[in-house]
Structure 1
């Protein structure tokens, strides 16, 4: 079975194939936010991990954990970002820490 990040990449391919105009516009919008930000890339990724947990998106969690690690975030920083989301969202959000731990175990062990 494909991993959450692989599922997301396949979804992006499908969106790009079926509605390239909309997908490219969305990508441009998100890229302009990131590039125009005063927040360093690593911290953007950590924030996005917390947002992904709050929105309960396993594919997003997987992608953003990988991006955070690529941007230089440590295992502890990634886990702490997830735990901040749990602090805001409570027990239901804690269940999504599973995806954070799965990714950091693959990336850091």
Structure 2
């Protein structure tokens, strides 16, 4: 069975194949946001972890946990970013912490 990040990569390939114009426009949009941001990459990734939990997207959580680690976030910072989302979203969002813990354990343990 594929990991959530692998599933996301497959999805991106499929989107790029089927609607390259839309996918490239979306990538350009997000690249422009990041490029002009006053927020460092590490903190962007941590914010995106919380947003991914609130959106209930396991593939997004996996990708953003990996990105946060790549940009120097510690395991504790990653977990705390997820817990902030739980504080805002309550127990239904807590169920998505499973993906944060699974990804963090693969990266840090």
Question: Do the structures match in fold with TM over 0.5?
Answer: yes
| Pairing of 1:1-109 with structure 2 (within 5 A) | 1-109=1-109
Q: Unaligned 5+ residue runs, structure 2?
A: none
Q: Unaligned 5+ residue runs, structure 1?
A: none
**Partner SS for 1:37:** coil
User: In angstroms, what is the RMSD of aligned CA positions?
Assistant: 0.3
Mapped to 2, the partners of 1:40 and 1:15 lie a distance apart of: 28
TM-score, structure 2 normalization: 1.00
TM-score, structure 1 normalization: 1.00
* 1:13 CA drift (Å): 0.1
* 1:30 CA drift (Å): 0.4
